[in-house]
Amino acid sequence: MNCFRVLLLCLAAAVPVVASRPAAAQEDEVLTAARLRGVKYLQSRQKPDGSWQFTSHDVGITALCTVALIENGVDLTESSVQSGYEYVKKRARELKNTYDISLAIVLLQRMGDRRDKPLIKNLAARLMAGQMESGGWHYNCPGAELDVEKVLRDPASGPRPKDGFGDNSCTQFAVLGLWVAS
């Protein structure tokens, strides 16, 4: 088969694929409608105290759902965002779970309130102290008992877990949290 025939064959095969795709505007409308349905769903699942429920991770899931609302156009002053934010803020100091700490940092930073900077710094120090000697993270980090200022002055001074290699999922969340905090 010569080059011309191969080219014609490829074009003939591509035409039905291109022709069957919806127009970009129609695609955007479909995507927007799906996102808005998702926003309404999340808002309908929010508890009266501002949280979303997920076994043992109410703070982390609340932070994640609140960020999802914000990133999909819900105003920072809207009640579902504010109540999620307040729920996370009130409970952030008691967190020890890597996922929850990281997601709390993401929400607090996204809200943009300068008064949250000390709390973000505290949570970031706990993530730093929870990093294993191997470089990864596991499920838990030090809690409120951590000497944050000492860790921030000298990250190696933290109570580093020595054994194991960590968990990729925990590590990606911790790295994200530290990146957002920086």
pTM tops 0.85: no
Q: What is the dihedral of CA 91, 96, 102, 106, to 10 degrees?
A: 10
Q: Where are any strands of DSSP class E within the chain? A: none
Look up residue 64 and give its amino acid: L
Sequence-distant (≥ 6) Cβ neighbours of residue 54 within 8 angstroms: 60, 61
Contact 49, 83 (CB under 8 A): yes
Q: Give which of 89, 97, 111, 101 is closest to 176, Cα–Cα.
A: 101
Give the C-alpha separation, 141 to 132, whole Å: 10
Q: What is the model's pLDDT at position 8?
A: 45
Q: What is the model's pLDDT at position 11?
A: 47
Determine phi and psi for 97, rounding to 5 degrees. -85, 135
pLDDT one-digit tens code per residue, 132-150: 988 999 999 988 888 888 8
Give the C-alpha separation, 8 to 3, whole Å: 9
Q: What is the dihedral of CA 30, 36, 41, 47, to 10 degrees?
A: 170
Alpha carbon 135 to its chain's center: 20
The proportion of the chain whose per-residue pLDDT surpasses 90, expressed as a percent, equals: 66
Give the C-alpha separation, 63 to 102, whole Å: 9
What 3-state DSSP class applies to 140?
A: strand
Instruction: Report the CATH number of the 36-181 domain.
Output: 1.50.10.20
pLDDT one-digit tens code per residue, 50-102: 999 998 899 999 999 999 999 999 999 999 999 999 999 999 999 999 999 99
Q: What are the extents of the domains in the chain?
A: 36-181
